[in-house]
Chain A
C-alpha cells in the first residue's frame, strides 16, 4: 500500500531533514551467484605464481587436516575440527594479508594461521590441551583461536580501529562460520565497523552447517552476504572452493580497507566434508550423498584442472607439493608424538601480572602436593593423617 492510497497518510509526520534513507544500496548488494574464477575465461589473467602458491598451500593444508584428524585417533589431540573441503578459504585468507595485518581466526581456522607462518604444533596446543594458546599473538599477528562464537569479531574491529587512529595502514581479517553470524556479537561488530569505517574484512565460511543445524534454520536471508547492506557495507559472495576467486575477492576487500574505504562482508560458499569435529556423528544430520556431490567441486581438484589447462601443472610440481606436504605431516606427527613437558606451577604463573597473596598460597599448596606425590610415587589417603 502506498502513502497516497491512505487518507490518513496526510497526518504522517515528514521525517526530519537529517533522516535520509540511503537511496542506492545497489553497490552494497552481493551478486546473485557466488563469484568464480577457476574454469572461467577470466582465469587466464590470473598470476601463475599465485596459482601455484595457492595449489601448494591447498595440498599442504589438506595433509595437515588428515594428519591432525589421525592424531585424534591416537589420543594425541583432544579434538580437531577439520577444515577438509574448506582449505581454499583458509589459505586464500592468509595469503591475502600483508605481514603487518592481523588475523582473527575461529577454532576451525588453524590452517589459515599455519599458512600465515604459525608453527603447526603451536597452532594445535588449544586442541591438544597443553595450553589454551600456544603462541605469542604478536609474533605473527594472529589473535588466539577463538572458541566462543563470533566474540573475536568485535576484537578485530577494535584492533583495526586502533591501528587507524594511530595512523598505521593495518587491516584486520576476522573469520567466522555461518552459525556464528546469528550471534549478537556478529551484528554489533558489523555495525561498529561500518559506523567507524574500520579497516576490517569479515570472512564468513558458509560450510552448510553449524554442528548439525543447516543454514536454512540459521537464517532466512537471501545470503549471508546480504546482511552487509543493512549495516552499510558491501557484501560479496564468492565460491569458497575456488582459491583464486577467494584470494581475489579478499585482496580487493583488504585493499579497500587499507585505503580507508571501510569494511566488507564476504561470504564464501563452501562445504564441510568431515564431521564438525572427530567427536561428532554427521550421519545424524547429513543427507546421503550430499558430501559426495561436493567432491566434484573439491578445491584441490578445481585448482589442478585450471593449472593443467594452462599447462602449469607438470609432474614435478605435483610431486614437489606432495613431498612438502608429507614432510610437514611427518614432522607434525613426530613432534606431536612426544609428550609435552608441562609444569603444573604454570597454573598460577599467568593469572595476573603480579600474583595475588591467595594465588601464592595456592601455589605453595600445589608445590607441596607435587613434592609429596613424587616422594610417595602414588596417590594415597596418607594426606589425611598429616
Chain B
C-alpha cells in the first residue's frame, strides 16, 4: 500500500482517482471483480484500470471477449453468486448492445425476486463529448438510464467525487450506472490518497459555488462550464449558485430546492439533448416544489436535439459559457415581457 501511495502523492487526475477507487475496493473486498474489453493488459483505453490485472491477477481484472451483452449478462450471474462485478463499457455508444441485460435483468432483479436477489453491479460508462471523438464515441446516454427504475445513476465532476462516488457505487447493493465524463478524465486536483477522500453517499447533490441571484443545476461535464459561466456573470451583476447533482437517481430534491428557494431562479445545464432529456424532469420537479418561490420559469440549456455531431462541429452543439449566460439573461423575463 505504501509504495503505491508514494507513487500517487502528486496531483491526481480523475482517471487515477477512479483507478484508485477500484484498487482500494478490490484490496478490501475479494468479491470485487473488474471486467470488460481491454481492461487487463492494456489497463483500459483510458487507462482507468491500469495496473489492476497486474496487482490482483487476471481472475479479478479480466479481459473479456468482445461482447457487451455477454459482459453484463455474465456479470448478472456472477452477482447472483455473491461477487461484486465492476463492469467497464468502453464508450457510451458501445453500451447499447447490453441494454437488454441492463433493462430487463440488472435493473429489476431485486424487484422481481421480492428482494431475494439484489445485484451489486457497477457499470462504468465513459460518456459525453468534447474530446474530438468520431461517431459513437460521444453520446450522453443518461436519460435512457434515468428512465429505467431499479438503477442508480451517478456522475462525478471532480477528482475527489470520482473516488468517493465510485467507492460508494461498488459498495452499493443495488446496480449503479456510473457515468464518467470522459473529457474530465485528465482534470487534476491536489487530492492524493494520502489524505483519503471521503466516500460520498450516493444521492446527495452539492453546492459548488454559492450565489444569490439564480441557481445553475448541472452535473458531470457541464459543472466546469457552469462554474466558468458563474465567474463571467459576476461582471453582469449576477451572483450565481452552482449545484452539482452528482447523482441523477436518486435525485436530491432537498439540496436543489433549497437552493432555488434562496435564489428564485434556475437554469438546468447539460449536454445531453434537451427534448426528452434529464432537464425536463429536473425542471418539472423544481417547478412542482418551488412554484411560489420562482421569479421566472425554470430554463434549460442542453445539447441540440440531433444525433451527436462530427468532432469538427461539436463545439456548436455542446452548451458552453455563452449559452448559459444567455439563459441567465432570459431569467429576467418578467421585467422584459
A residues whose Cβ falls under 8 Å from a Cβ of B: 78-79, 107, 125-132, 147-149, 179-180, 182-185, 210-213, 217-219, 280-281, 284-285, 340, 342, 344, 346-348, 351, 356, 358-359, 362, 366, 369, 379-381, 383-386
Contacts and interface: CB of A to CB of B under 8 A. Distances in A.
Contacts of A218: 65-66
Contacts of A386: 326, 329
B311 interface: yes
Contact of A347 (B134, B136, B313): B313
A212 B70 CA distance: 18
B67 A184 contact: yes
A127 B136 CA distance: 12
B124 interface: no
A358 B277 CA distance: 14
Contact of A381 (B65, B134, B233): B233
Given A210-B37, A212-B41, 12 more contacts: A78-B132, A78-B133, A149-B94, A182-B70, A212-B40, A284-B41, A347-B313, A358-B305, A381-B232, A381-B233, A381-B321, A384-B329
A210 B40 CA distance: 13
Given A147-B134, A211-B42, A346-B313, A383 B305 contact: no
A182 B45 CA distance: 19
B43 A384 contact: no
Contacts of B94: 148-149
Nearest to A134: B310
Interface range, B side: 35 or more
A384 B232 CA distance: 9
Contacts of B93: 148
B235 interface: yes
B304 A183 contact: no
Nearest to B309: A347
B238 interface: yes
B37 A78 contact: no
B235 to A, nearest CB: 6
26 contacts: A128-B312, A129-B312, A130-B313, A147-B136, A148-B94, A148-B97, A149-B66, A179-B66, A182-B66, A183-B66, A183-B67, A211-B45, A212-B38, A212-B41, A213-B63, A218-B65, A356-B305, A359-B306, A362-B305, A379-B322, A380-B322, A381-B233, A381-B322, A384-B329, A385-B329, A386-B329
Contact of A212 (B42, B238, B329): B42
Contacts of B42: 211-212, 281, 284-285
Interface in B275-329: 275, 304-307, 309-313, 316-317, 320-323, 325-326, 328-329
B306 A348 contact: yes
B19 to A, nearest CB: 15
A366 B41 contact: no
Given A147-B136, A212-B41, A351-B305, A184 B97 contact: yes
User: Does more than half of chain B's interface fall in helix, strand or loop, or is it mixed?
Assistant: loop
Interface in B231-280: 232-233, 235-236, 238, 275
B224 to A, nearest CB: 16
Given A183-B97, A211-B37, A362 B304 contact: yes
Contacts of B323: 369, 383
Nearest to A125: B310
B276 to A, nearest CB: 10
B96 interface: yes
B304 to A, nearest CB: 5
Contact of A182 (B38, B67, B136): B67
A265 B55 CA distance: 40
A148 B96 contact: yes
Contact of B313 (A149, A281, A344, A384): A344
A130 B325 contact: no
- Most A CB atoms within 10 A — which of B132, B275, B304, B321? B304
B143 interface: no
B24 to A, nearest CB: 24
Contact of A131 (B96, B310, B329): B310
A383 B97 contact: no
A362 B277 CA distance: 15
- Most A CB atoms within 10 A — which of B40, B69, B233, B316? B316
Contacts of A147: 134-137
Contacts of B306: 347-348, 351, 359
B312 A342 contact: yes
A78 B136 contact: no
A130 B309 CA distance: 9
B236 A381 contact: yes
Contacts of A284: 41-43
Interface in B58-108: 63, 65-70, 93-94, 96-97
